[in-house]
Amino acid sequence: MADLRVGLIGLGMMGRHHARAIREVEGLELVAVADAYGDPHGAAGNLPMCGSVDELIAHDLDLAVCAVPTGLHETVGLALAAAGVHTLVEKPIADTLASGQRLVEAFEGAGLVGAVGHIERFNPALQSLRSRLESGDLGDVYQIATRRQGPFPARIADVGVVKDLGTHDIDLTSWLAQSPFASVSARTSTRSGRPHEDMVTASCRLENGVITSHLVNWLSPMKERLTVVTGEKGAFVADTLTADLTFYENGTFTTEWEAVSNFRGVSEGNVTRLALTKREPLRSELEAFRDAALGVADNTVTMREGLDTLRVAEAMIESADTESTIGLAAWR
What gap in Å lies between CA 226 and CA 223, rounded to an integer?
10
**What is the dihedral sign for C-alpha 14, 19, 24, 30?**
positive
Contact between 328 and 312 (Cβ < 8 Å) = yes
Do 236 and 260 belong to one domain? Answer: yes
Do 163 and 75 belong to one domain? Answer: no
User: Does residue 125 form part of some domain?
Assistant: yes
Do 85 and 164 belong to one domain? Answer: no
User: Does residue 306 form part of some domain?
Assistant: no
Do 174 and 70 belong to one domain? Answer: no
Strands across the sheet containing 199-206: 267-274, 244-251, 234-239, 224-231, 141-149, 211-217, 199-206, 181-189, 326-327
Helix ranges, the chain (H): 13-24, 53-57, 73-82, 97-109, 124-134, 161, 167-177, 258-261, 281-294, 303-322, 328-331
Do 140 and 266 belong to one domain? Answer: yes
User: pLDDT digits over 24-52, tens only?
Assistant: 999 999 999 999 999 999 999 999 999 99
User: pLDDT digits over 277-297, tens only?
Assistant: 899 999 999 999 999 999 999
User: pLDDT digits over 216-272, tens only?
Assistant: 999 999 999 999 999 999 999 999 999 999 999 987 644 455 554 455 556 677 899
What gap in Å lies between CA 110 and CA 78, rounded to an integer?
11
**Of 155, 156, 154, 146, which is closest to residue 196 (Cα–Cα)?**
156
Contact between 316 and 186 (Cβ < 8 Å) = yes
Do 268 and 296 belong to one domain? Answer: no
For the chain, give the mean pLDDT.
Answer: 92
User: Does residue 116 form part of some domain?
Assistant: yes
Q: Give the per-residue pLDDT at 191.
A: 86
Rg of the chain over CA atoms, in angstroms? Answer: 21
Q: Helix, strand or coil for residue 181?
A: strand
**Phi, psi values for residue 257, rounded to 5°:** -85, 110
User: pLDDT digits over 98-138, tens only?
Assistant: 999 999 999 999 999 999 999 999 999 999 999 999 999 99
What residues pair up with 237 in beta bridges, in sequence order?
228, 246
Do 231 and 327 belong to one domain? Answer: yes
Contact between 69 and 158 (Cβ < 8 Å) = yes
Do 227 and 249 belong to one domain? Answer: yes
Structural domain range at position 135: 121-279+311-331
User: pLDDT digits over 43-76, tens only?
Assistant: 999 999 999 999 999 999 999 999 999 999 999 9
CATH number at residue 318: 3.30.360.10
CATH number at residue 95: 3.40.50.720
- In percent, how much of the chain has pLDDT > 90? 84
Do 103 and 199 belong to one domain? Answer: no
User: Does residue 83 form part of some domain?
Assistant: yes
Structural domains counted in the chain: 2
Q: Which amino acid is at 15?
A: G
User: Does residue 227 form part of some domain?
Assistant: yes
Do 143 and 26 belong to one domain? Answer: no
Do 86 and 60 belong to one domain? Answer: yes
What gap in Å lies between CA 199 and CA 169, rounded to an integer?
14
Do 169 and 225 belong to one domain? Answer: yes
What gap in Å lies between CA 245 and CA 226, rounded to an integer?
10
